[in-house]
Structure 1
Amino acid sequence: MERYSRQVLYSGIGERGQRLISASTVLIVGVGALGSLSAEMLARAGVRKLILIDRDYVEYSNLQRQTLYTSHDAEEKQPKVIAAKERLVEIRPDLEVEAHIAHCDAPLLLELAEAADLLLDGTDNFDTRLLINDAAYKLGKPWVYAACVEASYSSAGFMPDGTPCYRCLVPVLPATTLTCDTAGIIAPAVQMAVAEQVTTGLKILTGQFRAPHHMRIGNVWDMEHMKYRIDGMKSDECETCGTHPVYPSLDERTDHAMRLCGRDTVQVMDARITASAVDHALSRLGIEVNRTPYFQEFHYGTSRFVCFNNGRMLIHGLDDMNKAKTLVNQLFG
């Protein structure tokens, strides 16, 4: 236990708390700025296992705030979950890491969340947070929300049968359409959001997440930090935690094409997009391809394509979903 001796000395955790942490499994949805830092903090704190889901790969623009990754990862366009796994086991060789290069949809999330003691939000969009919320409440799993943009951050923990859910809070959440890709972000905002998120997670794992419960919001540039109590915000009419829950986000169909939040990128999911199909199409058209163990990358028209080996493709350089579908049909018939 020498590795965790300073954490054990802290009266809020102690030996009993450390044993609970060391027996826990945490699912992190998204390992960008928020999720990668949360993963590192939890690995260093001693969790037994991390389950990571992310659909993207490391780019140079990530490195200013995504401290788990390196220039080599960006140069190689390593999938974030793979780069994260490699770095985390260097930090702690006994850590179990399960990595999924995938879009987080309801079936996958429900399957992976079954094995988790805690879910952490490392995403950058409202719809996926509602999906995490519905999966967590349906399965009776606690989860912790976090978000950041520009110099602002927010975070809150949710416990089925203990707090109102994220859907209950939607009307009072800060209204913004800003994203890191459109408005920018500074690393201290990420650090603060994750500090709040992981602290709440450790309280949950050690059985110390008790009322009163709060949403925490702040701006690190202006040095403004505040919290407001959420315990009384639960609605009996809520579709997730109300009297008759239906968990609507779990029933929503995942579109075959979707724009990624704040980016000139469209994600397309199509069963025709296999490695052999990509090779055949590009050979027929005489297009050069860059192959990695995880995806094939090529240019077609004015767009850059990244085709993963599971029927999923990112098309960079456009935000028109109909045009994206047209390009896919041109390539694969």
Structure 2
Amino acid sequence: MNRYSRQTLFNKIGSEGQRLIGSRTVLIVGVGALGSLSGEMLARAGVKKLILIDRDYVEMSNLQRQTLYTEVDANDKMPKVIAAKERLENIRSDMEIETHIAHADAVLMESLAKEADIILDGTDNFDTRMLINDVAFKLNKPWVNAACVEASYSSCGFVPGQTPCYRCLVPVLPTTTLTCDTVGVISPAVHMAVSEQVTTAFKIMTGQFEAPYYMRMGNTWDMDHMKFKIDGMADSECPTCGTHEFPELKAGSGSQMSMRLCGRDTVQYIDERLTKDTVVKALATRNISMNETPYFVEFKYDDYRIVSFNNGRLLIHGADRTNKARTIVNQLFG
């Protein structure tokens, strides 16, 4: 029996729609709760290739909602893209999977998006969504947003030349500083967001994404579900889809940068000079014990737990300010 027979029997997809889905490359930015579930749905649907990018590793607190991961992954602190690739290959051995253990900065995002037919948002922060938006509209690539927190979810598709962009919608989006790390999230909200997101992706991939266009949102606990029309919301002065200035791309990435991770007492610090060899030698000189894996070096310094990835990116757990993170790095590595 054909693997995709039940999907092709659905008259909105059919054999031609399945052929189109099977020819598509999808870039998923972030493979946490949203990205791991959308990746699994797309793998099972038959897409040609997935490109996965995520900067983090699996922790026990992820397992409640991040469907691709196991206790073994959490105990091993396995990078999410590596664990996701292993699970997805068990689902679809014939699918191409490209992985990047990295921060999604402007340079990397633009490079990866050039290879993709569509981009799916699996992130948990506003800044990265704005970057995805700029990259997508600069390269004329469709992208689909998804978000969830507590029991609420939302999703919306954006296609250059057809819809307003994400930046145009910012004035009407709900204003919130809540994150999954501060107020939590339940898995039904994740599944609703991703179900909307992947359905929209199917429509885009098969050429059936047509007006009227909507942002959809709801609350799974209250069982409230709604949508509002986004047609006509395009702003002619929008620096992304109006004047084409793409401010998030102009910011670039730089050789050094630090940022506090959303909702967590963790600062990410990037310095391309801090290679694995450099870090290991510095720690050995200071007699600091470390745990080496194929992907990172983990160690403790004072009251901070630090994970140093092989590409010069550090996660400094316990730091709540970027200035403190820079001080720690200077003390350790000069």
Residue number in structure 1 paired with 2:157 = 157
TM-score (norm 2): 0.98
Rounded Cα–Cα distance in structure 2 between residues aligned with 1:241 and 1:279:
46
Residue number in structure 2 paired with 1:127 = 127
Residue identity opposite 2:303 in structure 1: T
Rounded Cα–Cα distance in structure 2 between residues aligned with 1:291 and 1:40:
30
* Aligned-partner SS, 1:266: strand
Are 2:57 and 1:88 aligned?
no
Rounded Cα–Cα distance in structure 2 between residues aligned with 1:174 and 1:155:
13
Do the aligned residues in 1 keep the contact of 2:146 with 2:193 (CA within 8 Å)?
Answer: yes
Residue identity opposite 2:331 in structure 1: Q
Residue number in structure 2 paired with 1:236 = 236
Rounded Cα–Cα distance in structure 2 between residues aligned with 1:180 and 1:252:
27
Do the aligned residues in 1 keep the contact of 2:154 with 2:218 (CA within 8 Å)?
Answer: yes
* Aligned-partner SS, 2:100: strand
The Cα RMSD (Å) is 0.8
After superposition, where does 1:1-333 map in structure 2 within 5 Å? 2-242=2-242, 244-254=243-253, 256-333=257-334
Residue identity opposite 1:119 in structure 2: I
Deviation at 1:201, TM superposition (A): 0.3
Residue identity opposite 1:193 in structure 2: A
- Per-residue CA deviation, residues 86-130 of structure 1 (Å, 9 max, x unaligned), is 000000100100000000011111111111110000000101000
Residue identity opposite 2:21 in structure 1: I
Rounded Cα–Cα distance in structure 1 between residues aligned with 2:271 and 2:215:
39
* Aligned-partner SS, 2:119: strand
Rounded Cα–Cα distance in structure 2 between residues aligned with 1:332 and 1:149:
38
Moved more, 80-89 or 275-284: 275-284
Rounded Cα–Cα distance in structure 2 between residues aligned with 1:294 and 1:279:
13
* Aligned-partner SS, 1:31: coil
Do the aligned residues in 2 keep the contact of 1:272 with 1:332 (CA within 8 Å)?
Answer: no
Deviation at 1:279, TM superposition (A): 1.2
Rounded Cα–Cα distance in structure 2 between residues aligned with 1:320 and 1:302:
14
Deviation at 1:287, TM superposition (A): 1.1
Deviation at 1:42, TM superposition (A): 0.2
Rounded Cα–Cα distance in structure 1 between residues aligned with 2:273 and 2:316:
15
- Per-residue CA deviation, residues 17-57 of structure 1 (Å, 9 max, x unaligned), is 00000000000000000001000000000000000000000
Deviation at 1:271, TM superposition (A): 2.2
Rounded Cα–Cα distance in structure 1 between residues aligned with 2:332 and 2:282:
6
- Per-residue CA deviation, residues 162-198 of structure 1 (Å, 9 max, x unaligned), is 0000000000011100000001000000000000000
Rounded Cα–Cα distance in structure 1 between residues aligned with 2:281 and 2:70:
33
Moved more, 281-290 or 55-64: 281-290
Deviation at 1:273, TM superposition (A): 1.3
Residue identity opposite 1:248 in structure 2: P
Deviation at 1:286, TM superposition (A): 1.2
What is the count of residue pairs matched by the alignment?
Answer: 332
Rounded Cα–Cα distance in structure 1 between residues aligned with 2:149 and 2:285:
44
Rounded Cα–Cα distance in structure 2 between residues aligned with 1:162 and 1:105:
26
Give the ranges of 4+ consecutive aligned residues of structure 1 lying more than 3 Å apart after TM superposition. none
Rounded Cα–Cα distance in structure 2 between residues aligned with 1:248 and 1:76:
39
- Per-residue CA deviation, residues 244-292 of structure 1 (Å, 9 max, x unaligned), is 2111111114461100011110000012311111111111111110111
Rounded Cα–Cα distance in structure 2 between residues aligned with 1:3 and 1:287:
53
Residue identity opposite 2:132 in structure 1: I
Rounded Cα–Cα distance in structure 2 between residues aligned with 1:111 and 1:281:
33
Structure 1: 5+ residue stretches without partners: none
Residue identity opposite 1:249 in structure 2: E
Rounded Cα–Cα distance in structure 2 between residues aligned with 1:101 and 1:279:
19
Residue identity opposite 1:201 in structure 2: A
Do the aligned residues in 1 keep the contact of 2:107 with 2:252 (CA within 8 Å)?
Answer: no
Q: Once the two structures are aligned, what percentage of the paired residues are identical? A: 69
Residue identity opposite 1:275 in structure 2: K
* Aligned-partner SS, 1:261: coil
- Per-residue CA deviation, residues 294-316 of structure 1 (Å, 9 max, x unaligned), is 00000001000000000110000
* Aligned-partner SS, 1:217: strand
